[in-house]
Amino acid sequence: MDNKSKQIGLIGLGVMGKPMGKNLLKGGFSLTVFDIKPEPVAELAALGAKTASSPAEVAAKCDIIITMLPNSPHVEAVVCGANGILEGIRPGSIYIDMSSISPVLDKKLYEIMAEKGVEMLDAPVSGGEPKAKDGTMSIMVGGKKEVFDSVFDVFKAMGDAVTLVGDIGSGNTCKLANQIMVALHLAAVSEAMVFAEKAGVDPEKVYQAIRGGLAGSTVLDAKMPMILDRNFKPGGPIWMHTKDLLNVRDAALAIDAPIPLTTQVLEAFKACKCDGHVNDDHCGVIQYWEKLANVKVERRK
């Protein structure tokens, strides 16, 4: 379906939301935006977006409303709070939450939207700021297939791999599973490379030796050069990944799922936050292991 004749609303123009909005505009969609910060709103307005004064106004003006917000409390407040989406949304609209939040909240909001005659999808993303900018994010979607199909072109303007995972909440369940695997990969890379450094072996040569074998991974290839260069400029910051792992913990508790390894890695992320690395890229979690071993993993001179 071609949605370019419809008005799309985007609420949340942060690290991910702003480039997503730019890609929607590049894709030829009509866009109305809102954020509590005026700067990104002005930036998108200069590119052709319309602006709104509240989430309620976005919902009242738009056929498809997207939220991209930091965490569950922010999404719930924007949807259910004063001047929130529920105050303006019209029956027949589609609400898409692309935030990384708890699947439990997804299901609650789905029921609320259904009472308003509104369809909902949860559609969190993976790939960080770089892929948000170039429009190649992975988008994991939960909800009805017919609703997913009806907005597929909207998703494709922002992402490369777009997958319907299952019913509502499945998107965020998939995203949390992704975050478990990325966090554990980062922990494994950190522990292995600190081990190599402590043993006096060049970690860059260890990386080159193992990257083509079974231990090789996308995470290793994406993050090991950053670690060697001590480049912790965030694509996905430690605070954000910590938030996701806390959502994993809460969701796992609700369904009695065992997460012993995730729980341990969560503590490493929390320690990094407390140690002043809250805004470092999540590969900066290696600094937890480096501090324990009193070494630094970096390129040899």
- Catalogue the active-site residues: 175
Hey, what's the torsion of the CAs at 270, 275, 278, 284, to 10 degrees? Answer: -90
- The CA distances from residue 39 to 35, 42, 67, in Å, are 9, 5, 18
In this structure, how many other beta carbons lie within 10 angstroms of the beta carbon of residue 216? 12
Cite the DSSP H helix spans in 163-237. 170-198, 203-210, 218-228
Residue 21 to residue 40: CA distance in whole angstroms = 10
**Helix, strand or coil, per DSSP, at residue 7:** strand
Burial zone of 106 (CB within 10 Å; 0-12 exposed, 13-18 middle, 19+ buried): buried
Residue in this structure with the two tokens 């929607």, named with its chain if needed: 24
The rounded distance, in Å, linking the Cα atoms of 104 and 169 is 7
